[in-house]
Chain A
Amino acid sequence: MKHNKKENVPRASGDNGVIVLENITKRFGPNLVLDNVSLVIEKGKTTVVIGPSGCGKTVLVKHLIVLLRPNSGEVYFKDRRIDNLSENELNKVRTQYGFLFQGGALFDSLSVAENIIFPIRQHWEITDWREVEELVKAKLAMVGLDGYQNQFPANLSGGQRKRVALARAIALNPEVVLYDEPTTGLDPIRSDVINELILKLQRELAVTSVVVTHDMTSAYKVADRIIMLHKGRIVADGDADHIRNHPHPIVQQFIHGQVDADDLAVLRMSGKISQAQFLPRDFE
């Protein structure tokens, strides 16, 4: 990769990187969220990002598509530096991405079908509306929501919204799909359907995926590689077995869902939850 001037840049395997983050640092005011993070997202592989809530996973994936710009460091997409492009130039690059927002971010003034048509309409000349309808039907069927075309997001459950958002993210058949917690809020069976969908997209369309998740079952199932983020740094990086047997206590704690001994102490110390704390006058 011709941009890699510095030698210490981690490279997973030769020139397979579709998206490369180099020494990304991101601050929000005094809050340091990403601390010199370097990462190569490999083509056609599924990279899973895990880590405790608030550790900067969403911020990290937003940098991959430059929805957020780093304070320092560089972002490359297919060997082209993109973190310094103007919004208009970026918009061309972004059409090759699909991004599933953690909160879905559906347009609430548009129906489910219109939400999915939105990106299609923005970038393709639509000549045959029946074709588009078929496409919408197919994408909704992939997430198990065919028949919901005319519903509005406000009338859907949280999990259904998430799935519509996923259908919208893959509407343009992107090469790279970034999933921010695709299975959070779904029942176990639906979660597995989404996992299968991620695998299917990878198998059949050679999609490069980045999946942010808390759900270790899902992580082990879809991951070619798992990255754990903690306090703005990557503390573990490897395949599922590597993570399972990782010596770092923070990693073990996270994947087994164990509460920190200190946190537990705080909970036990605080004693009984007294009703007096919730007197109605607190709400006046």
Chain B
Amino acid sequence: MIGSVGAKTIGGINNMGRFGRFVWQSAIASFRICTSPRAYALIWTQMHIIGVRSVPVVMITGAFVGMTLAVQTYGQLAAMGLEERLGVLINIAVVKELGPVLAAVMLAGRVGGALTAELGTMNVTEQIDAIRSMGTNPIRYLVAPRILACLLLTPILIIYGDLMGIVGGYFVSVIQFGINSQAYWTHSASGVELWDVTIGVAKGFFFGVAIAAISCYKGFTCKEGAQGVGRACTEAFVASFICILMLNFGIAVVCKAIYSTFWSLKTLV
């Protein structure tokens, strides 16, 4: 019993170590290919595959988040006579937290799953070994373009999600609940700061890298057979999901600290 717990712990630490090395190698490879124009075609292809087809799902997610928030919060604000401030609440929540996190989760499912399945299949059919046998670094050829594509695209997709969330919230608030459109926007604009938007979008960089790195790693270490690939996909999604939530929490803590430092400075001045 104790032995098996110990063995699992050691296994876990080994795994973390291997993942750390993988991330490190991927980071180096990513920096390298940034400087070689020949690789841009690879990044471009991946951006096309990852990005373009993800736009609809991310937009749908965003729209429903905005709409649901409006429905859920209207009652409480209206009871206090604050319904014109609905916009602030919805838009802050969408732009800062729900938009980025839910878009990232959608991407972890859609993109992460596809990456793990693709690389996992390449792994079990020896295509990754074939790349090595031809003197090419598979991390540089396969992983780096995917990480860079996710890094660049996740923030953009988050912006799409945010926009749809804002539009969705607006429609429900103004058309269904009959809030004055101008008041809605004025309050929203005064309540949502540029800082909030920046944080929300900047999260995309972290989420994108995390999704790509975890999914590619799971693909590279996937076990033989259809079952192995399936399991790798599941594990990749769960790990990405948890990683997104943890990163989100970490970023919130750090941003809070930064924001309050600067904010207190401002009031001193």
B135/A67 in contact, CB under 8 A = no
B127/A105 in contact, CB under 8 A = yes
Q: Pick from A21-29, A92-100, A234-242 the stretch touching chain B.
A: A92-100
Confirm or deny: B126 has a beta carbon within 8 angstroms of a beta carbon on chain A.
yes
B132/A91 in contact, CB under 8 A = yes
Confirm or deny: A122 has a beta carbon within 8 angstroms of a beta carbon on chain B.
yes
List which B115-132 residues lie within 8 A (CB) of chain A: 118, 122, 125-127, 129-130, 132
Docked pose: A93 CA to B133 CA in angstroms: 10
B135/A99 in contact, CB under 8 A = no
A119/B134 in contact, CB under 8 A = yes
CB < 8 Å neighbour of A123 from B118, B126, B135: B135
B126/A94 in contact, CB under 8 A = no
When distances are taken between beta carbons in the complex, the residues of chain B under 8 Å from A188 are none
B137/A94 in contact, CB under 8 A = no
CB < 8 Å neighbour of A103 from B118, B125, B134, B136: B125
A103/B126 in contact, CB under 8 A = yes
Docked pose: A92 CA to B132 CA in angstroms: 10
Confirm or deny: A88 has a beta carbon within 8 angstroms of a beta carbon on chain B.
yes
CB < 8 Å neighbour of A92 from B118, B122, B135: B135
A67/B125 in contact, CB under 8 A = no
When distances are taken between beta carbons in the complex, the residues of chain A under 8 Å from B132 are 67, 87, 90-91, 94
Contact sample, A vs B, 12 pairs, CB 8 Å cutoff: A62-B129, A67-B133, A87-B132, A91-B135, A91-B136, A94-B133, A101-B133, A103-B125, A105-B129, A108-B127, A119-B135, A122-B136
Q: Rank and list the top 5 A-B pairs by shortest CB-CB distance, nearest first.
A: A105-B130, A95-B135, A94-B135, A99-B133, A105-B126
15 more contacts with CB within 8 A, not counting A95-B134, A99-B133, A105-B130, are A67-B132, A87-B132, A90-B132, A91-B136, A94-B134, A94-B135, A99-B134, A101-B130, A103-B126, A106-B127, A107-B122, A108-B127, A119-B135, A122-B136, A123-B135
